[in-house]
Structure 1
């Protein structure tokens, strides 16, 4: 008899525990969805009508040969003009087993073969065939598969930074910057809001041009990662994803983004970076119809990319 009563009490406790657990999961999911929709609605108020309809792209991506998930990350201020060239080309490499992230930047003037179009600057692939043709171009030249793409409107970057960092992102601005970036930045350590940080990562009117801009983009990514407060930001993730969602055209859904972002914040491992082309692997000739290009040694850069990913 005592054994039966003990068994019933134990069963009752486990039932209560299980129901409580389900209730907490339901509440968490409900709260996350509510925060996501709050973020979406907040940004929709700032989106111009012509930006609301997103271009639907095909993208035949898959995981790479190392089992990593690669995301083609493109920055654009096209405002709905699908023929524009991508201003920023990055690949986010995510290893689910190790929970690690790496970042490769491909310089937009890299002179490569674009399938069906011949040799051109790599950012022309986006103008000619969207993210799918750019995926094919990267696959042909660098032997790397890409599973997802995300085209981020620059205004979405501004909204995300302002929401995640109300006091701004701390950056050491190395020189005065103002030409063609919409803001004026003075040199020195300071906190930049979304508009200012966008200007910082887009500036290229100095002696090093696009090389400096790529370095600043990677520097900004590292600063953003280093300054994210793990607990506070994890609780804000659904709203942050909602805030940026109206400004992003991607084949990733919100659950994919949330899963990877959670891994990134909980792991807090510094992001390793690579620039393509690597040093001593290119020349800078003038090509008729193209202007100045980076004529790269494709094999050397392919090997550098694969070594970077697989180590």
Structure 2
């Protein structure tokens, strides 16, 4: 009798755990299906197809010796397969041990040695040999290994901001801006939609030129990171990836993007540390025949500063 009760309890326990397992299985399946449907919804909402304007690039990415995930970010507004210099060059670094994010902007007029092409502005490397030559250039001049690349069409930036922030991103516009950006911005704290936010981060027609533009880009990225964490963005992440995917040419797979994106927006007050190359006091303005106005830098000082920033 006691043995029958014991067997009955064991059967009930097995049934209970089996039910929990099945529930978890179906829950995971439902989440995966929902994520996929949201991702496809984002892709279908875009007017372009994912392959329409994408050029295939060779990229011999290298793993970082310190265990970091370093991504070469390239901002471009080139259409179709036309060749252009990169408008924005950044290194996004993710440390999986500390779950920290760092962002380095390399000013496009930085005068460097481009392998096989001699000295030139660093943004010429992309036009001469795509992301692979730009990767080699950064490795040779700054000894930083890049595992992935991501070329972002500026239209994708606009779509992403509008999808993530339907009411706009709050920005303090420090002065009136209009020349060369396709929109007019008045000074003051305001919410900017994707088109106006893009104009804000691209403006460089003032006394500080590209230095001010780089600072605004970094500030906006940090502010967007904070605002991502302050709203219910995590459930929208698959759709956001789907929205921007047609406008990104990258060797990263969707799983990697979702993993790192989830970590960035799932914690409050996520701090993104930033730096700029060249660092303050390590360069001088020069004019070079064939290249125009360039930033002639102290390579040792900037190499040391960049590696220290990424690994500390």
Class of the TM-score when normalised by the shorter of the 2 chains:
over 0.9
The CA distance in 2 between the partners of 1:159 and 1:79, in whole Å, is 16
**1:51, 1:80 within 8 Å by CA — same for their partners in 2?**
no
Moved runs in structure 1, 4+ residues, more than 3 A? Answer: none
The residue number in structure 1 matching 2:157 is: 157
- Give 1:83 shift: 1.9
The residue number in structure 2 matching 1:282 is: 283
The CA distance in 2 between the partners of 1:40 and 1:72, in whole Å, is 23
Structure 2: where are the runs of 5+ without partners?
A: none
The CA distance in 1 between the partners of 2:222 and 2:230, in whole Å, is 15
Taking a change above 3 Å as real, the CA distance of residues 280 and 260 of structure 1, as seen in their structure-2 partners, is same
- Give 1:62 shift: 2.4
**1:55, 1:82 within 8 Å by CA — same for their partners in 2?**
no
TM-score, normalising length: structure 1:
0.97
TM-score, normalising length: structure 2:
0.96
- Give 1:229 shift: 4.0
Of 15, 24, 28, 2:31 maps to 28
RMSD (CA atoms): 1.3
The CA distance in 2 between the partners of 1:62 and 1:32, in whole Å, is 30
How many residues in Structure 1 have an aligned counterpart in Structure 2?
308
The residue number in structure 1 matching 2:10 is: 7
The CA distance in 1 between the partners of 2:246 and 2:110, in whole Å, is 30
Mapped pair 1:132 → 2:132: yes
- Give 1:231 shift: 6.1
The CA distance in 1 between the partners of 2:284 and 2:278, in whole Å, is 10
The CA distance in 2 between the partners of 1:138 and 1:82, in whole Å, is 23
The CA distance in 1 between the partners of 2:63 and 2:271, in whole Å, is 23
* SS of residue in 1 equivalent to 2:266: helix
- Give 1:226 shift: 1.2
**2:53, 2:79 within 8 Å by CA — same for their partners in 1?**
no
* SS of residue in 1 equivalent to 2:179: coil
- Give 1:63 shift: 2.3
* SS of residue in 2 equivalent to 1:285: strand
